[in-house]
């Protein structure tokens, strides 16, 4: 059992797991985007990828970073509309061939 603070994948594959963990932390703390924006992106992506754990983690982190409930809701709605648009456009040629 992994009792350290590092994720299980670092213990099982330190050569790849440690750089991934560092990359993840750098994405959260460095760069030009502020923390609220990053967490709103993470919420939207977690929702699109359908990860309940990640969605909850990033909603909580977004609130802690100063995002409002309205901002989080808007990010989720933007993710939803992009998902719907993608569904309508992903195979446009076939849709147009038979449905236009």
Consecutive sets of 10 residues in the chain, 100 residues long: mean pLDDT of each? 76 96 95 98 96 96 98 97 90 92
pLDDT number for residue 11: 94
2 within domain boundaries:
no
Question: How many domains, in total, are found in the chain?
Answer: 1
For position 85, which CATH number holds?
A: 1.20.1290.10
Domain that holds residue 90: 8-99
3 within domain boundaries:
no
pLDDT number for residue 98: 94
- Could you tell me how far CA 77 lies from the centroid of its own chain? 14
Torsion angle (degrees, nearest 10) of CA 31, 68, 54, 79: -80
């Amino acid at each position: 059992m992994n009792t350290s603070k590092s994720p299980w994948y670092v213990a099982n594959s330190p050569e790849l797991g440690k750089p991934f963990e560092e990359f993840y932390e750098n994405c959260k703390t460095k760069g030009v985007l502020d923390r609220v924006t990053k967490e709103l992106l993470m919420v939207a992506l977690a929702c699109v990828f359908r990860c309940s754990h990640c969605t909850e983690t990033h909603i909580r982190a977004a609130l802690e970073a100063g995002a409002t409930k309205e901002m989080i809701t808007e990010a989720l709605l933007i993710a939803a509309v992009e998902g719907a648009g993608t569904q309508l456009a992903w195979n446009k040629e076939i849709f147009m061939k038979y449905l236009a």
